[in-house]
Structure 1
Amino acid sequence: MKLSAIKFKNSSHKCLTLLGMSGVGKTHLAKLLSYQDKYFHYSGDYRIGAEYLNDKILDNIKNYIRQDKWLKDLLDNESISIQNHITFDNLSSVSAFLGKAGNPELGGTPIGTFIARQTMHLNAETKAMLDVPQFIQKAKTQGFNHFINDAGGSLCELDNEQVYQTLANNTVILYIRASKTNETALVECAQTHPKPLYYQANFLKQQLSIYLQKNQLIYVAQIDPNEFVRWVFPRLLEHRKPKYEAIAKKYGYTIDSEGLYRCKNADEVFELIYGAMN
């Protein structure tokens, strides 16, 4: 929703969608606001893992277990069971399912499987974002005054106007733009802790081709999966930035991460948001 600062300030039910790279401060902002008032915290990544990819995550784990005959027998006769204990703060099962493209002997996922899971994640994230209106209503019935959609960093990759319009119709979209210092920290984190990521299909195809040629490799199965993530992350960051900017320009507002990190409480966060709306 495109609102004036005054109208947003006087709203009795504030609904926000937080847009930006993972690690830019979205969850930090949500927690600051929640300390002051009653907010329903909706996590897109949690919804993806707990609802739309849950069965596929469990099936994948079971396939690994069945490689051991002893464990396979216990699983098949229901002597043991597997559960997905995903939480807002622990999304490891989703990351493990998504995987990293590359050599299976180095922990990589075969490219065919990797691409299929990327498509599954795309579809799941689309559904999770389209679920936001129903969760806003659910939050109201549960007595929550306000609502925060803590969206995944790949929201800008959906390129889905239905999703963006739905979010804009029901929430104020707030883009947290990473400062140069913040960008450097994100890249450094990717170097030390490379993690599974979502890539648009064309971007992934292009980057894999460049990486293979650059490293004189023939097949994706020869790629060290962690090295590829380290190499591609800065390129992914640059790829996403104009997408975030375009969504914010058309549907929402922009605040800077450094300004957010200086905020110590909800009042200071709101002043930052009001300033972006003026």
Structure 2
Amino acid sequence: MRMTPQEFLRWDAKRITLLGMSGVGKTTLANKLPKAEWFHYSGDYRIGTKYLEEPILDNIKRQAMQVPFLRDLLRSDSIYICSNITVENLAPIATFLGKVGDPAQGGLPLAEFKRRQALHRQAEIAAMLDVPEFIDKAREIYGYRHFVNDAGGSVCELDAPEVLETLAEHTLILYLKTTPELEQTLIERARRNPKPLYYREEFLDRQLAEFLAERGYASADQIPPDEFVAWVFPRLFHSRLPRYQAIADRYGYVIDASEAAKVRDEQDFLQLVADSLAAKEAPSRNE
């Protein structure tokens, strides 16, 4: 979706998609918009509560069944298990994704890890294709005037053109671009606290082969899970940046993450977006 700054500011029912790395500030920015006016659609929340709900619960139950006390209660239907996923707490999704590596250290065998990665990809595609339906629901059922799609950090990895076409048709796509300072913060955070991640299979295979050769492990089952995630995150980070930029170049606009962090309220947000649209408009006028 393309428009001038003036068209955006006059747009009566604004529909925004926020793209960018996890941790760059998408959810923080969305939460600064008035909750009475803006419907906050979280791609990750939709994934966890709809498309991966059963696999997530099965994974939790599988772990619980290894505890005799819980196993007996589950088998007798004396207790039930549910996940309490919220927009701010997506831990059950991360727990399901897991980390490839030595099972004795909490890792997943490579085949199982790839199976879960494939399920996550399918779920993320489905969650993004749901955006038009939720735009209508937000307005017709709940009475929200505006809509913001807080997309997951791995949308750029999906290699699913229909997702980007759908988002571009129904929303204004904004890419929150990291600054060098924020980049180092995110990389250091990942090193201190490695978290499960989604990888394109081709990228995963290439990085795993290099990691095994560099560290001298014979197979993926010998890898300390946290060691691999901490090692691969900077590579994943830098591989995603040109993908995000390509999406913005073709379909949307760029917002500097440091400027987004200064946003205090809706008015600041709207002005920031209008400035981004104007910045992209300027070079074309000068050509």
TM-score normalised by length of structure 1: 0.97
Q: Please list, as runs of the form range in 1=range in 2, the aligned pairs for 1:43-82 lying within 5 A after superposition.
A: 43-82=42-81
Deviation of 1:262 (Å)? 2.1
Deviation of 1:74 (Å)? 1.5
C-alpha distance in structure 2 between counterparts of 1:186 and 1:69, whole Å: 40
The answer as to 2:136 corresponding to 1:164 is no
- 2:132 paired residue number: 133
Q: Deviations over 1:156-212 (max 9, x none)?
A: 001111100000010000000000001011001101111000000000000000000
C-alpha distance in structure 2 between counterparts of 1:69 and 1:259, whole Å: 53
- 1:262 paired residue number: 262
Q: Please list, as runs of the form range in 1=range in 2, the aligned pairs for 1:1-278 lying within 5 A after superposition.
A: 1-34=1-34, 38-141=37-140, 142-278=142-278
Q: Which amino acid aligns with 1:157?
A: E
Any gaps of 5 or more consecutive residues in structure 1? none
Deviation of 1:251 (Å)? 0.5
C-alpha distance in structure 2 between counterparts of 1:34 and 1:107, whole Å: 41
Q: Aligned pair count?
A: 277
C-alpha distance in structure 2 between counterparts of 1:166 and 1:269, whole Å: 23
C-alpha distance in structure 1 between counterparts of 2:263 and 2:60, whole Å: 41
C-alpha distance in structure 2 between counterparts of 1:70 and 1:41, whole Å: 40
CA RMSD of aligned residues (A): 1.0
Q: Which amino acid aligns with 1:255?
A: I
Any gaps of 5 or more consecutive residues in structure 2? 279-287
- The runs of at least 4 consecutive aligned structure 1 residues that moved more than 3 Å come to none
C-alpha distance in structure 2 between counterparts of 1:64 and 1:29, whole Å: 36
SS in 1 for 2:34: helix
C-alpha distance in structure 2 between counterparts of 1:171 and 1:64, whole Å: 40
Q: Which amino acid aligns with 2:58?
A: D
Q: Which amino acid aligns with 1:79?
A: S
SS in 2 for 1:197: coil
Deviation of 1:62 (Å)? 1.1
C-alpha distance in structure 2 between counterparts of 1:136 and 1:70, whole Å: 45
SS in 2 for 1:81: coil
Q: Which amino acid aligns with 1:96?
A: T
Q: Which amino acid aligns with 2:202?
A: N
C-alpha distance in structure 2 between counterparts of 1:169 and 1:218, whole Å: 47
Deviation of 1:220 (Å)? 0.5
Deviation of 1:84 (Å)? 1.2
C-alpha distance in structure 2 between counterparts of 1:170 and 1:241, whole Å: 24
Deviation of 1:11 (Å)? 0.7
C-alpha distance in structure 2 between counterparts of 1:3 and 1:198, whole Å: 33
